[in-house]
Structure 1
Amino acid sequence: MAMLLVVICTALVFEYINGFHDSANAIATVVSTKVLSARTAVIYAGCLDITGALLGTHVASTIGQGIVDAGIVTQGVIFCALLAAVIWNLVTWYLGIPSSSSHALIGGLIGAAVGRAGFGVVLMDGVTRKVLLPMLTSPLLGFCIGLGAMVGILWICRRARPYVVNSWFRRLQLLSSGIMALSHGSNDAQKTMGIITLALFSYGALESFKVPVWVVLLCACTMGCGTMTGGLRIIRTMGDKMIKLKPVHGFAAETASASLVLTASHFGMPVSTTHIISTAIMGVGSTKGHRALNLSIIKNIVTAWVLTIPVCMAIAATLSFVLPL
Structure 2
Amino acid sequence: MDVSFNHFLQEMAGNPILLITVVLTLGVIFVNGWTDAPNAIATCVTTRCMGVRSAILMSAAFNFLGVFIMTQINSSVATTISNMVDFGGNTHQALIALCAALFSIVVYSTGASFLGIPTSESHSLIAGLSGAAIAIQDGIGGINLGEWVKVLYGLVLSLVLGFVTGWVVCKLVTIVCRRMDRRKTNPFFKAAQIFGAAAMSFMHGAQDGQKFIGVLFLGLAFATGQDGAGGVAIPVWLMLLCSIVMALGTSVGGEKIIKSVGMDMVKLEKYQGFSADLAASFCLLYSSLFGIPVSTTHTKTTAIMGVGAVKRLSAINFGVVKDMVLTWIFTFPGCGLISFIMAKLFMAIF
TM-score by length of 2: 0.89
- Of 200, 220, 232, the residue aligned with 1:200 is 220
Among residues 50, 55, 58, which one is paired with 2:76 in the alignment? 58
Equivalent residues of 1:45, 1:227 under 8 A apart: yes
Question: Which residues of 2 match residues 210-289 of structure 1 at below 5 A?
Answer: 210=232, 211-289=234-312
Q: CA deviation at 1:322?
A: 2.1
What runs of 5+ residues in structure 2 fail to find an aligned partner? 1-14
Q: 1:70 to 1:172 in 2, by over 3 A?
A: farther
> What pairs with 1:1-325 in structure 2 (closer than 5 Å)?
1-54=15-68, 55-56=70-71, 57-68=75-86, 71=89, 74-117=94-137, 118-128=139-149, 130-204=150-224, 208-209=229-230, 210=232, 211-323=234-346, 324-325=349-350
Partners of 1:72 and 1:113 within 8 A in 2: no
Q: Secondary structure at the match of 1:221?
A: helix
Between stretches 44-53 and 291-300, larger displacement belongs to: 291-300
Within 1, Cα distance between the matches of 2:288 and 2:119? 19
Q: CA RMSD in A?
A: 1.5
The more displaced of 163-172 and 233-242 is: 163-172
CA distance in structure 2 between the partners assigned to 1:121 and 1:23 by the alignment? 31
TM score, norm. by length of structure 1? 0.96
> What are the Cα deviations for residues 188-207 of structure 1, in whole angstroms up to 9, with x where unaligned?
01111110110001111779
Q: What is the CA-CA distance between 1:168 and the residue it aligns to?
A: 1.4
Q: Structure 1: where are the runs of 5+ without partners? A: none
How far does the alpha carbon of each residue in 1:15-64 deviate from its partner, in whole angstroms, 9 at most, with x for none? 00000001222100000011000000010010000000012122111111
CA distance in 1, matches of 2:202, 2:88: 30
> Structure 1 residues 146, 208: closer, same or farther in 2, change over 3 A?
closer
8 A contact 1:71–1:202 mirrored in 2: no
Distance in 1 (alpha carbons) for counterparts of 2:171 and 2:22: 46
Residues 102-136 of structure 1 show CA distances to partners (whole Å, capped at 9, x for unaligned) of 100110000011011121110011101x1012112
Q: Which runs of 4+ in 1 moved over 4 A?
A: 69-73, 205-208
Deviation at 1:70, TM superposition (A): 6.4
Instruction: Report the CA distance shift for 1:260/1:72 in structure 2 as closer, same or farther (over 3 A).
Output: farther
The 8 Å contact of residues 40 and 201 in structure 2, kept in 1 or not, is answered as yes
Distance 2:295 2:179 in 1: 37
Contact 2:88 2:136 in 1 (8 A): no
Report the Cα offset of residue 137 of structure 1.
Answer: 2.5
Number of equivalent positions: 324
Amino acid at match of 1:26: A
Distance 2:258 2:110 in 1: 15
